[in-house]
Amino acid sequence: MASNKLRSAGAPKDDELQVDMSPMIDMVFLLLIFFIVASTVVVVKQDPNVEPPVANKSVKAKDGHGRIVINVREDGTFRAENTKITFDDAKAIEDYVKEKKLIEDGKGHKPIIHLRGDQGVSFKYVRTVIRAAANAGVDNVVFSVYGFEKN
């Protein structure tokens, strides 16, 4: 104890104690990198030619995993999420859904049909997609709508 008093008495008065912040900054950056790597981003590509209907009481889905997106345009054409794949008939839709179902099952996600139908599309086209998905083994369908009037 006497040595502490001697050291403090001999030390210049203008020296102040400082805390080294570099370990704290390193820890913040490590946590930031961890959360960036650990998080997943679910992106649903949208066909710009499909205008979903407005539903004022719509509910936003909590989980976007396992989505198999099929766009139904007003003229009755069916397209996949990336809009490069066009389906000619229900069999082509069924084959596509089976392929995507295997991928989603491999990831451990429950496959869900995300149906983006144009607001002017006839129900017979929507029914074609639902039946093809059911034949492929996917019985859960989510309809895409706007929750507000689009300006």
Average pLDDT, 10 consecutive residues per value, the chain (151 residues): 62 70 91 87 69 76 80 84 77 89 90 86 88 90 72 51
**Strands (DSSP E) found in 17-100:** 67-72, 78-80, 86-87
Residue 62: the pLDDT is 74
Residue 88: the pLDDT is 81
Residue 68: the pLDDT is 86
Residue 7: the pLDDT is 65
Q: Which residue is listed with tokens 């996600």?
A: 109
Residue type, 100: K
Contact 133, 93 (CB under 8 A): yes
Residue 120: the pLDDT is 84
Residue 9: the pLDDT is 63
Give dist(CA 42, CA 44) in Å, integer: 7
Residue 122 forms beta bridges with which residues? none
Contact 76, 128 (CB under 8 A): no
**Which residue segments constitute the domains of the chain, with CATH numbers given?**
2-38 (no CATH), 67-143 (3.30.420.270)
Contact 133, 140 (CB under 8 A): no
